[in-house]
């Protein structure tokens, strides 16, 4: 998905690192990674450790890190939008022309910001000043740390074949951190492949009402 | 009995320990290997950092003959989450929210090491010196 961008910008001292927040591991991510034929690192995070480190609660999300290892844009929606909620036919999975246009607009704006950063570095207006970056940090509440612990224990049990024993811990993680779509959807998917995009998912999305599924990335500081 | 201790990012460790409700009494000799802590006269220590056992509450933390230490009591003292599942004897000890917040506020990108599809490990630090677009996706 990011290969064309990487080819375009790699000479600018720029690299893409993709991380799959996916407890299915190589079994569920392998076909996608192979198909992408990416020349940048495609890593697999079965325990969702990086989500905890960076405060990621949904995909597609991204973090920008400069040459010195400083976060210049904390976790945010990466080039995707809520168009799917109203513009996607849920049976045929076809997006309306209006939805396609909206998706292209959001993705285009995000890619332009990324290009500007790759080329201009710290002079790019999309590099957040320290104060602005700090204000946007998804700082974890106490309940989120407890949610993460429950998720990690549940994931460990599930990976060792104890799905039934794992279930209450995964459920508790979702309850303690309801904003985390990755906990919720991963839990569904472990229960039953496909469930993460099934009726429960759409009901939860519809229950958001006016609230966003993908909070729009505010590109300018 | 044997308990699997998952201490933050350390690999799983099968420890000989006694579970009593919300308390986990770990053999003192196994503290370094299971959790990276060791008992010293000044308290329970990891590198240069020592946490004194609160005065008057020694019984919550320490037992003698055999020497045992209550790892769950330490987690509670440090406001770190601890979750356990007793049928399979698994205890998970996580990072506290305050430590995570402090780490985030430094704006230093936390390092991690993860495998690619072939199982080769990659550390974020391997790519220091480049602009890194760290992007998260999933198959679900």
Chain B CB contacts of A29 under 8 Å are 117, 138-139
Residues A62 and A89 in one domain: yes
- Tens of pLDDT along A95-127? 999 999 999 999 999 999 999 999 999 999 999
From A67, A145, A189, residue closest to B95, measured CB to CB:
A145
- The per-residue pLDDT for B65 is 86
Distance, CA of B125 to CA of B39 (rounded, Å): 32
Contact B140 A185 (CB under 8 A): yes
Indicate whether A212 belongs to any domain. Answer: no
Contact A71 B140 (CB under 8 A): no
DSSP state of B108: B
Which one of A135, A150, A168 terminates a domain? A135
Of all residues in chain B, the one with the smallest CA distance to A78 is: B135
Contact A44 B117 (CB under 8 A): yes
User: The domain containing residue A65 runs over which residues?
Assistant: 3-135
Which H or E run includes B113?
A: strand B113-115
Residue A11 C-alpha, separation from nearest chain B C-alpha, in angstroms: 10
Residues A25 and A112 in one domain: yes
Residues A11 and A78 in one domain: yes
Indicate whether A220 belongs to any domain. Answer: no
Contact B100 A50 (CB under 8 A): no
- The per-residue pLDDT for B41 is 92
Residues A113 and A159 in one domain: no
Distance, CA of A46 to CA of B17 (rounded, Å): 28
Query: Taking Cα atoms as reference points, which of B40, B37, B102 lies closest to residue B73?
Result: B37
Beta bridge partners of B108: A70
Helix residue spans in chain B (DSSP H)? 31-35, 58-61, 71-77, 97-105
Distance, CA of B52 to CA of B44 (rounded, Å): 6
Q: Are A142 and A18 in contact (CB under 8 A)?
A: no
Indicate whether A34 belongs to any domain. Answer: yes
Distance, CA of A62 to CA of A119 (rounded, Å): 18
Contact B122 A41 (CB under 8 A): yes
Overall average pLDDT of the A137-156 stretch: 98
Contact A142 B97 (CB under 8 A): yes
- The per-residue pLDDT for A221 is 79
Residues A79 and A109 in one domain: yes
- Tens of pLDDT along A9-37? 999 999 999 999 999 999 999 999 999 99
Residues A67 and A121 in one domain: yes
From B82, B101, B137, residue closest to A59, measured CB to CB:
B137
The overall average pLDDT reported for chain B is 97
Which one of A94, A113, A135 terminates a domain? A135
Residue A99 C-alpha, separation from nearest chain B C-alpha, in angstroms: 21
Indicate whether A121 belongs to any domain. Answer: yes
Residues A107 and A163 in one domain: no
Q: Is the ipTM of this complex over 0.95?
A: yes
- Tens of pLDDT along A35-92? 999 999 999 999 999 999 999 999 999 999 999 999 999 999 999 999 999 999 998 9
SS3 labels along chain A: CCHHHHHHHHHHCEEEEEEEECCCCHHHHHHHHHHHCCCCCEEEECCCHHHHHHCCCCCCEEEEECCCCEEEEEEEECCCCCHHHHHECCCCCCECHHHHHHHHHHHHHHHHHHHHHHHHHHHCCCCCCHHHHHHCCCCCCHHHHHHHHHHHHHHHHHHCCCHHHHHHHHHHHHHHCCCCHHHHHHHHHHHCCCHHHCHHHHHHHHCCCCCCCCCCCCCCC
Using the predicted structure, report yes or no on whether residue B37 has a pLDDT greater than 90: yes
From A49, A150, A165, residue closest to B87, measured CB to CB:
A165
A163-176 vs A181-191: helix crossing angle, rounded to 10: 160
Residues A152 and A60 in one domain: no
Indicate whether A211 belongs to any domain. Answer: no
Residues A61 and A152 in one domain: no
CA A169 centroid distance within chain: 22
- C-alpha separations of A159 from A96, A164, A166, B52 in Å: 39, 11, 9, 37
From B110, B117, B140, residue closest to A53, measured CB to CB:
B110
Which one of A111, A135, A159 terminates a domain? A135
Indicate whether A213 belongs to any domain. Answer: no
Residues A175 and A112 in one domain: no
Residues A103 and A57 in one domain: yes
Indicate whether A50 belongs to any domain. Answer: yes
- The per-residue pLDDT for B40 is 94
| Domains in chain A, number | 2
Overall average pLDDT of the A179-192 stretch: 97
- The per-residue pLDDT for B1 is 78
- Tens of pLDDT along B59-85? 999 999 889 999 999 999 999 999 999
Residues A22 and A120 in one domain: yes
Overall average pLDDT of the B89-108 stretch: 98
Confidence of residue B36 (pLDDT cuts 50, 70, 90): very high
A128: domain CATH number is 3.40.30
Contact B140 A189 (CB under 8 A): yes
Confidence of residue A220 (pLDDT cuts 50, 70, 90): confident
């Amino acid at each position: 998905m990011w290969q064309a961008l990487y080819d375009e910008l790699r000479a600018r001292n720029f690299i893409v690192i993709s991380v799959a927040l996916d407890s299915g591991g190589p079994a569920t991510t392998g076909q996608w990674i192979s198909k992408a034929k990416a020349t940048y690192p495609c890593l697999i995070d079965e325990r969702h450790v990086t989500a905890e480190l960076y405060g990621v609660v949904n995909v597609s999300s991204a973090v920008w890190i400069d040459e010195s290892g400083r976060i210049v844009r904390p976790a945010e929606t990466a080039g995707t939008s809520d168009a799917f909620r109203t513009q996607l036919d849920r049976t045929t999975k076809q997006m309306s022309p209006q939805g396609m246009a909206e998706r292209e607009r959001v993705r285009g704006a995000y890619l332009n910001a990324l290009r500007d950063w790759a080329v201009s570095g710290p002079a790019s207006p999309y590099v957040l000043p320290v104060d602005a970056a700090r204000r946007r940090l998804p700082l974890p509440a106490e309940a989120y740390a407890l949610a993460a612990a429950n998720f990690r224990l549940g994931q460990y049990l599930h990976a060792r074949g104890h799905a039934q024993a794992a279930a209450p811990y995964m459920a508790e993680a979702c309850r303690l951190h309801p904003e985390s779509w990755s906990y919720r959807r991963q839990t569904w998917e472990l229960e039953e492949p496909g469930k993460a995009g099934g009726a429960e998912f759409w009901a939860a999305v519809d229950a958001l009402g006016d609230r966003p599924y993908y909070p729009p990335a505010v590109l300018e500081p | 009995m044997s308990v699997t201790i998952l201490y933050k990012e350390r690999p799983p460790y099968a420890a000989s320990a006694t579970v009593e409700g919300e308390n986990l009494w770990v053999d003192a000799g196994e503290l370094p290997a299971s959790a990276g802590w060791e008992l010293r006269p000044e308290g329970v220590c990891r590198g240069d950092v020592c946490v004194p056992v609160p005065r008057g509450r020694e019984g919550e933390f320490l037992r003698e003959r055999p020497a045992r230490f209550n790892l769950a009591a330490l987690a509670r003292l440090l406001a770190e989450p601890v979750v356990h599942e007793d049928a399979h004897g698994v205890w998970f000890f996580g990072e506290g929210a305050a430590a995570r917040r402090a780490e985030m506020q430094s704006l230093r990108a936390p390092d991690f090491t993860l495998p690619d599809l072939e199982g080769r490990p990659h550390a974020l630090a391997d790519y220091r010196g480049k602009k890194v677009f760290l992007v998260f996706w999933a198959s679900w």
